[in-house]
Structure 1
Amino acid sequence: MTTTQSRPPIRHVEVVVNPLSGSAGPNAKAEAEAILEARGVKARVSTPEDGVVACLQRAIDAGPDLLAVVAGDGTARCAAEMSGPDGPLVAPLPGGTMNMLPRQLYGERDWRAALEEILDAGVVKSVSGGEVDGKMFFVAAILGAPAHWAEAREAVREGRMWLAVQRARRAMRRAFTGRLRYALDGGKMRKTEALTLMCPLVSTIMENDADFLEATAVDPASARDIFRLGFHAAVGDWRAAPSVEVDKCRYGAVWAGGRIPAILDGEPQRLSRTAQIKFRPNAFRALVPEVL
């Protein structure tokens, strides 16, 4: 569920910046420092020189009131997951390419405007999410063979077009080679080519305070359909995929013959052969603008 809470004082801010990510900009570190200095806030701005997780952990260990991230989707998801409901407030600012979670929290604001606004008059929002195979997601997840298209998308994003073509061909070869079995909320086992899970934050059929995930089983009838599904999964247009069957769930499980390819909040992952699904009503606390 997603609810607004009273705002605590913001005295200490930790910021993690990746100046090489999609929309952060090469001067992001200096710009963030200037914004914080202008407001007289105790702050430290760090870059992930020795890895994202280590950098985020140091920031969290410093005990800030707010952890702000100016980076890509993977870092935004990681910051929210590591902070959890009992850690610092999180501001996953739009510093990447797709900005799946930041767009839901900050709209079309760039990261500078969003940071200034939440420091001046932000409100606390408790954000729900989902968990699959022990990994969190806060916007949407897609499980199954179409997730292989994320690897092609990553190559396109890096400007490696020949690699993108190779990965697209491999994704097509993998179509229909390994169907999923799944069960939701203790129901009967079903088969599908792909299963998408959408959080209340982004679902078009649920309110923000809903207490379940939207589950969409997608069973394409042809290679053309699976191509379309892979494309829509890669660009984040989850509900535009063909052959859709919509359900909802608070828990479930999914099985496959091998490790399950997945996309969690726009980032490719590899899950176990058997993965548990859970709805998390209070996944983390975000600092957001008062009016989106």
Structure 2
Amino acid sequence: MSKRGAAPTLRRVEVVVNVASGSVAPDAPAEVEKIFADFGINAHVCAPSTEDLTNCLRAAVDAGPELLVVLAGDGTVRAAAELCGPKGPMIAPLPGGTMNMLPHAIYGLRSWQDALTVALAEGEARMLGGGEVEGRQFLVAAILGSPALWGPAREAARYGKARLALMRAQRALRRAFTGRLRYSLDDGPRDKAVGLSFLCPLISRALDEEAPALEAAILDLQGLRDVVSLGFHALKGDWREAPAVHARPCRVARIWASEHIPAILDGEAVRLSSSATIGFRPDIVRVLSLPKALRES
């Protein structure tokens, strides 16, 4: 669920550029400054090293801007959203990563330069909902259980590290039938699954973007054929498309396991406790968004 309104006048703007991210060129900070200058706005740009990224984000939020622009991947945007919260600065998540699922959902399939230019000219303030688990928010998706182990394998394959990708894929396969999760969706009956994922409504293809719920996908492997299918789809980037996956809307989910639960939140690998509750939150962060007609143009 989201609330929209006219974008406020921008007097103070902070920009964080992750030049080590998937699709950010070294001259990106200068390009950002020029785009803002064309709109008569003097933006403060920070292009930190990877080790100093979190400190740069925190300093940018502490500066109290009307707008925080983040040119980075989905994981960095998630960190910025957690720092801002629903009452902090509005953020503009530009596509600077590899997947860029959230920026593309907010700005359409545009380059970051075009997305920023159109957002400054036509953007509107919007409260964005998403998911929350153990005090961590996510705006794209959460993956829990053994499918989360495919994330490192896919990253290694993407960077051409074939041997490392194979080792990680073999590890994920070994755990495909072990460590099943117990879960309950919306206080329904308990059941078992190898893994679960939760997509936010803006990203889901099954939910309306205003839906006050997450799309829960349940993975139940029955044999080797399902394992092979899971591996194929996971390495392509979306294990939810595997035939053994079943999806439905969900507001609150409770998950139990015999040990810590491996998870991926917006592309970042984390480890949850052996029991976790995932729920939909309607007020994660305010974003500078485009109207739907412009996003689809």
Q: Determine the C-alpha separation between the residues in 2 that align with 1:250 and 1:182.
A: 13
- TM-score (structure 2 length as normaliser): 0.92
8 A contact 2:102–2:203 mirrored in 1: no
User: Counterparts in 2 of 1:231-242, with a 5 A limit?
Assistant: 231-233=232-234, 235-237=236-238, 239-242=240-243
Shift of 1:149: 0.6
Runs of 4+ aligned structure 1 residues displaced above 6 Å come to none
Q: List runs of 5+ in structure 1 lacking aligned partners.
A: none
Secondary structure, aligned partner of 2:124? strand
User: Counterparts in 2 of 1:37-52, with a 5 A limit?
Assistant: 37-49=37-49, 50-52=51-53
Shift of 1:264: 1.7
Which residue identity does 1:159 align to in structure 2?
A: G
Structure 1 stretch displaced more, 269-278 or 92-101: 269-278
**Number of matched pairs:** 292
User: Could you tell me which residue of structure 2 aligns to residue 176 of structure 1?
Assistant: 177
Shift of 1:78: 1.2
Shift of 1:234: 5.4
Structure 1 stretch displaced more, 92-101 or 209-218: 209-218
User: Could you tell me which residue of structure 2 aligns to residue 71 of structure 1?
Assistant: 72
User: Could you tell me which residue of structure 1 aligns to residue 13 of structure 2?
Assistant: 13
Q: Determine the C-alpha separation between the residues in 2 that align with 1:153 and 1:182.
A: 26
User: CA distance change for structure 1 residues 272 and 223 in 2, over 3 Å: closer, same or farther?
Assistant: farther
8 A contact 1:23–1:96 mirrored in 2: yes
1:33 and 2:6 correspond: no
8 A contact 2:154–2:237 mirrored in 1: no
Per-residue CA shift, 1:124-172, capped at 9, x if unaligned?
1221100122221112221110110101112123332221111111111
Shift of 1:238: 5.3
User: CA distance change for structure 1 residues 126 and 159 in 2, over 3 Å: closer, same or farther?
Assistant: same
1:3 and 2:6 correspond: no
Q: Determine the C-alpha separation between the residues in 1 that align with 2:165 and 2:125.
A: 40
Q: Determine the C-alpha separation between the residues in 2 that align with 1:250 and 1:29.
A: 40
8 A contact 2:146–2:194 mirrored in 1: yes
Q: List runs of 5+ in structure 2 lacking aligned partners.
A: none
Shift of 1:227: 4.0
Secondary structure, aligned partner of 1:42? coil
Which residue identity does 1:35 align to in structure 2?
A: I
User: Could you tell me which residue of structure 2 aligns to residue 130 of structure 1?
Assistant: 131
Q: Determine the C-alpha separation between the residues in 2 that align with 1:98 and 1:59.
A: 24
User: Could you tell me which residue of structure 2 aligns to residue 96 of structure 1?
Assistant: 97
Shift of 1:105: 0.9
Q: Percent of aligned pairs with the same residue?
A: 52
Q: Determine the C-alpha separation between the residues in 1 that align with 2:133 and 2:22.
A: 27
Structure 1 stretch displaced more, 4-13 or 54-63: 4-13
User: CA distance change for structure 1 residues 254 and 19 in 2, over 3 Å: closer, same or farther?
Assistant: same
Q: Determine the C-alpha separation between the residues in 2 that align with 1:130 and 1:229.
A: 24
Q: Determine the C-alpha separation between the residues in 1 that align with 2:125 and 2:236.
A: 29
